[in-house]
Amino acid sequence: MDQRLETIKKSIRDIEDFPKPGIVFKDITTLLNDAQAYKALMEHLYDRYKGYELDFIAGIDARGFIFGAALANMLGVGFVPVRKKGKLPSTTISQKYSLEYGYDEVEIHLDAFRRKKNAQVLLIDDLIATGGTAKAAVDLINKTEALCVECCFIINLEALGGTDKLEAPVYSVLKV
């Protein structure tokens, strides 16, 4: 394994039985407060995406903002937040997605990608589990006539099959 990936992997803490019994929560706060690990992650992502000719990076509320905004700055492209319903101040479009019990909804500004047709967009978040939020975010990107060129996740919980729901290429830094 690439030394940077090993550094990243070692920096993520497992929390047993959170948020409920039987769940092993992947805590990225220990990645964020480890300057060496965070730098390794951001350099890894920069190296991967520097040749993609991206126009924007879209980050999913809220941890996707941490990685997406930093990477957008490194690549010299715009950052677009994909927010939970009711958090954006201007005209938005939204997409519902299923939860274990009920539904939730995410939205972006209608002009999030500056109305650039076929804007090349990277979607990023900290983790993919069942894939509902990520699928909704990809659908939103496509509704604006932009193109989600790839979905990037720091951690992919493979057993939950979330990446199978996505109609875009997927890259996962770590697979669990």
How would you write the pLDDT of the chain (176 residues) with one tens digit per residue?
589 999 999 999 999 999 989 989 999 999 999 999 999 999 999 999 999 999 999 999 999 999 999 999 999 999 999 999 999 999 999 999 987 677 999 999 999 999 899 999 999 999 999 999 999 999 999 999 999 999 999 999 999 999 999 999 999 999 99
Active-site residue flag, 100: yes
Q: 52-175 architecture in CATH?
A: 3-Layer(aba) Sandwich (3.40)
Q: Is residue 175 within 8 Å of 142, Cβ to Cβ?
A: no
Q: Of these residues, 43, 83, 100, 115, which one is catalytic? A: 100
Q: How far apart are the first and last CA of the chain?
A: 14
* Residue from 48, 63, 105, 158 carrying the catalytic annotation: 63
**Domain range list for the chain:** 52-175
The whole model's pTM is what?
A: 0.95
* Separation of alpha carbons 175 and 76, rounded Å: 28
Phi, psi of 173 (to 5 degrees): -65, -50
